[in-house]
Chain A
């Protein structure tokens, strides 16, 4: 049963601390996406990778957020330093492309609370 996995599922931290979220895409998928969802803003795309290379991270605050794919089985999203406004659910999704009819499969999300 192939699915996207994310760890941790929940994270509570204090302002100023570093937060690292991890994602394991579905084996064979070459495109990985990071999303953030809040009640106020809804769902928004932060960054996406194809074949481990970042293609677009324009949705991400560059000063504190960074996204990487050290290998094909792991994507990370790091926030340093974290702020209360970063509190949200962060989703990772993977697929076989972006345009056209390629489907994206979402993970269960990491619920982040920054106090």
Chain B
């Protein structure tokens, strides 16, 4: 069954600390994996997109990794800021014959405290 599982479900950290969010998937055939940040009351914003051949990609203080062999991805946030408080959603694209299908994780809710 094609699934995307994220952990932890929620996380509280102090401002300035680092954290790592996990995403494990069982989607096949794989096209790409995306990490989105969603602030409360807003639409998701893309952080990174990684295809099969990419194993790390950075966007400022956000660094995503992908291990296509173990089907695991992580999102590392460095020197967290209060504005990092949001939900982080992992989405895996499944490649089909003539179309694509998105498999969504349920998200990790991050709260950064001063």
Tell me the A residues contacting B by CB distance below 8 Å: 4, 42-45, 55-56, 91, 93, 98-109
Binds A, one of B17-25, B39-47, B68-76, B78-86: B39-47
Q: Does B7 contact A (CB under 8 A)?
A: no
Q: How many A-B residue pairs have CB under 8 A?
A: 49
CB within 8 Å for A101 and B49 given contacts A93-B43, A106-B44: yes
Question: Interface range on chain B: under 10, 10 to 19, 20 to 34, or 35 or more?
Answer: 20 to 34
A99 partner, pick from B91, B100, B107, beta carbons under 8 A: B100
Q: Does B95 contact A (CB under 8 A)?
A: yes
CB within 8 Å for A99 and B32 given contacts A44-B104, A56-B99: yes
Q: Does B14 contact A (CB under 8 A)?
A: no
Contacts of A104 in B (CB 8 A): 46
CA distance A109 to B106 in the complex (A): 18
CA distance A104 to B104 in the complex (A): 14
